[in-house]
Amino acid sequence: MIIGIIILLLIILLVFFIIGIYNKLVRERNLVEESFSTIDAYLKKRYDLIPNLVETVKGYKDYEGSTLEKVIEARNRYSTASTIEDKVANENIISGALNKLFSLTEAYPELKANENFMKLQGELTSIEDDILQARKYYNGSVRIYNTSCETFPNVLVARNFAFNKYPFFKIENEVEKENVKVSF
């Protein structure tokens, strides 16, 4: 009888232990999703500014059409991205395209003198700073969550209840890592 009670208490303790791990993983997963939604909000804000920026650049007869097309195409792809992975990949494309767009100011000094363009560029720079901070927070949340999913005994609960790892938000676009080359 006493052995039965001890076994029952151990089973109850095990169940509460598993529930505690499960709840911790849920909290951490929700934190990751919340932190990505912050990035998502900043990205939407940035993408809303892009049409105005493109229209300002189009006002100059010698603008580089391929650069503008890449910016517009990347912006449109964002609206169809459904997963975090797709949005991260698209973010890398749009960042590279925007860097090329801003490099046009070196080739076209009259564009640099345009008040609208400079205002929009300033707003985008401010949003870029916000995105950078949000990415740091997101990556920190992902690190904590992924570590929890991979450490023992959490890994046993994570595997059984489909807690999957989240990707880090990395800069993969080589354009962002290299110096911008402007040719006339």
In this predicted structure, what is the pLDDT of residue 140?
Answer: 96
Nearest to 46 by CA among 112, 100, 127, 121: 127
Tens place of pLDDT for every residue, the chain, 184 residues? Answer: 899 999 999 999 999 999 999 999 999 999 999 999 999 899 888 888 888 777 777 766 455 666 677 777 777 777 787 888 888 777 777 777 777 777 766 766 676 667 777 888 888 889 989 999 999 999 999 999 999 999 999 999 999 999 999 999 887 654 444 444 434 3
> What's the rounded Cα separation, in Å, for the pair 82 and 125?
26
On whether residue 156 sits in a domain, the answer given is yes
Nearest to 116 by CA among 47, 61, 59: 59
Predicted confidence (pLDDT) per residue in 123-153, tens digit:
888 998 999 999 999 999 999 999 999 999 9
On whether residue 8 sits in a domain, the answer given is no
Predicted structure pTM score: 0.76
On whether residue 86 sits in a domain, the answer given is yes
- Asked if 32 and 141 touch (Cβ cutoff 8 Å), the reply is yes
In this predicted structure, what is the pLDDT of residue 176?
Answer: 46
> What's the rounded Cα separation, in Å, for the pair 160 and 127?
40
First to last CA, the chain: 90
On whether residue 21 sits in a domain, the answer given is no
- Asked if 40 and 87 touch (Cβ cutoff 8 Å), the reply is yes
On whether residue 82 sits in a domain, the answer given is yes
Q: What are phi and psi of 45, to 5 degrees?
A: -60, -40
Please name the residue ranges forming H helices in 59-114: 65-80, 84-107, 109-112
> What's the rounded Cα separation, in Å, for the pair 123 and 112?
15
| Domain interval for residue 55 | 29-177
What's the CATH number where 132 sits?
A: 1.20.1440.20
In this predicted structure, what is the pLDDT of residue 162?
Answer: 92
- Asked if 124 and 70 touch (Cβ cutoff 8 Å), the reply is no
Q: What are phi and psi of 180, to 5 degrees?
A: -75, 130
In this predicted structure, what is the pLDDT of residue 83?
Answer: 82
C-alpha torsion 116→122→124→129, nearest 10 = 180
On whether residue 117 sits in a domain, the answer given is yes
Domain count, the chain: 1
Longest CA span, the chain: 91
Name the token pair of 118.
């400079």
